[in-house]
Amino acid sequence: MDEMMNTGASSADTQEGKYMTFKSGSEYFGLEIQYVQQIIQFQAITKIPETEDYIKGLINLRGKIIPVVDVRVRFKQGECEYNDKTCILVITVKDTTVGLIVEQIAEVAEIQKENILPPPTIGRNDKGHNKYVYGIGKVGTSVKLLLDPEKLLYDEENVDAAMTENEE
């Protein structure tokens, strides 16, 4: 059972307001479903030396080699042991395909624009996952932290470092 779910919908309007939600640590996060290509079971990862600690390595997804990022480590929540609920959320952002290791997929939630609030600014700093969150989605009585996948993958300091390495 390689592929658990394929989310490729035929038109963008069927995806509007829909978010793939997942658990990381004690919090629930959401990604706009338009970025999500599929969800696969956790599989063996080939490590890459001298990369950021949150980049766990590479996987072969039907002949395509893609990097894999551990969301918990990216959010500075510490590492956790992978288990049967751990899976890889394959997303595409700006023509880049990446796998996100998540503890547990929650659901596809529909969140209307009027139920999305800006993140709180009280005591806010750019440490941890707050700099990747663009909004708070209200779903019934719970909230989901909505992620900006571009900021998650293209953190400014890492983009600058990658650009410098490529120019040499």
**Domain parsing of the chain, residue ranges:** 3-167
Phi and psi angles of residue 12, each rounded to the nearest 5 degrees, phi first: -65, -30
**Confidence at residue 29, expressed as pLDDT on a 0 to 100 scale:** 94
**Fold for the domain defined by 3-167:** OB fold (Dihydrolipoamide Acetyltransferase, E2P) (2.40.50)
pLDDT score, position 109? 93
Tens digit of each residue's pLDDT, the chain (168 residues): 444 445 444 445 677 899 999 998 888 999 999 999 999 999 999 999 999 999 999 999 999 999 999 999 988 888 888 999 999 999 999 999 999 999 999 999 999 999 999 987 765 554 455 688 999 999 888 999 999 999 988 865 443 333 333 333
